[in-house]
Amino acid sequence: MLIAITLEKERRKLPKRDVDSHKGSFGHVLILGGSPGMSGAAILAGMAALRSGSGKVSIATAPEHANILNLACPELMCYGIVESQHFEILARRATNLVLGPGLGISNYAKQLLACGLKLNLPTLVDADGLKWLSELPQANTHPHWVLTPHPGEAAALLGVTLADVQQDRMAAVKALQKKFGGVVVLKGAGTLIQGPEAHTYVCPAANPAMATAGMGDVLSGVIGSLMGQGMSPLDSALLGTILHAHAADRASQTGARGMLASDVLPFIRDCINGK
């Protein structure tokens, strides 16, 4: 069965905020990514997580630009990571992980990803993280993760062609969930979300202006933020996907061409607060 999700329904699942809450009450998301030349991906994911309500967001990134990565958003905490044990130390303070935005495909990136996947934390894997997934035998399945592939990444993970995925997207998302476990968000026009249960969810919102670099990094930050705030992987994927789509719909009202992924960020706060 295919179930269309709505922002109003999914937003009701957000945990309530007590008057005596503090920043530690709303999760500490640790993002692994931002290799040289791709630091913007980690920044977008981090800013999206903050706009979605995270109390704290840290970025584990390449040492050469850790000191300047948060100039665009001083609320982000950025750390240069040389070895995997440094990443493990950071992860001890985190509520959950977002692995992959701008991570790169070097052996260094592969080692850090493998380290992250060994940790017993709710985890989202996206972008370059997905490129390594099939090559890490210890990470075949995970009950507490969310995978967010676009159709090309889905094809690589399944060992089929892009045309195969696009011809039957529902079969593809079910096959991905069966192979890797957890929750799978197959991005595209009519994004599909598949958890362990039989039925599949579809996001009816979104628009062609979203076909631009960095949009997936924003989605990763949104879903990762909700996981850190205590929502289940499936509920985080459902709310995060429809929230991201509605924010992008608002941002695109001035036209379908020229929208940036960062244009979506201000609308995330409005949409999550029911404005």
Please give the full DSSP string across 168-225, using - where no structure is assigned. Answer: -HHHHHHHHHHHH-SEEEE-STT-EEE-SSS-EEE-----GGG-STTHHHHHHHHHHH
β partners of residue 68: none
What is the pLDDT averaged over residues 161-182?
A: 97
Q: For the domain 2-13+25-272, what is the CATH code? A: 3.40.1190.20
What is the pLDDT averaged over residues 219-235?
A: 98
Please choose, from the candidates 130, 32, 114, the residue with its C-alpha nearest in 3D space to the C-alpha of residue 81: 32
What is the pLDDT averaged over residues 49-59?
A: 98
pLDDT value at position 159? 94
Q: Which residue has the higher pLDDT, 70 or 47?
A: 47
Lowest mean pLDDT among 90-104, 125-139, 201-215, 219-233: 125-139
pLDDT value at position 203? 98
What is the pLDDT averaged over residues 26-38?
A: 94
Whether the pLDDT of residue 137 is over 70: the answer is no
What is the pLDDT averaged over residues 235-239?
A: 98
Q: In sequence order, what are the residues at sequence separation of 6 or more whose Cβ sits closer than 8 angstroms to the Cβ of residue 235? A: 10, 13, 226
pLDDT value at position 68? 87
What is the pLDDT averaged over residues 226-254?
A: 97
Beginning with the edge strand found earlier in the chain, give each strand of the sheet holding 123-125 in spatial order.
2-4, 200-202, 192-194, 183-186, 145-147, 123-125, 96-99, 28-32, 56-61, 77-80
Domain boundaries, the chain: 2-13+25-272
Annotate 36-64 with DSSP letters as a single string.
TT-HHHHHHHHHHHHHTT-SEEEEEE-GG
pLDDT value at position 139? 66
Is 0.95 topped by the overall pTM?
A: yes
Whether the pLDDT of residue 134 is over 90: the answer is no
Instruction: Tell me what the pLDDT averaged over the chain comes to.
Output: 95
What is the pLDDT averaged over residues 65-72?
A: 88
Give the number of C-alpha atoms closer than 13 A to the C-alpha of residue 50, restricted to the C-beta side: 17
Question: Rounded CA gap, 271 and 229, in Å?
Answer: 17
To the nearest whole percent, how much of the chain has pLDDT over 90? 86
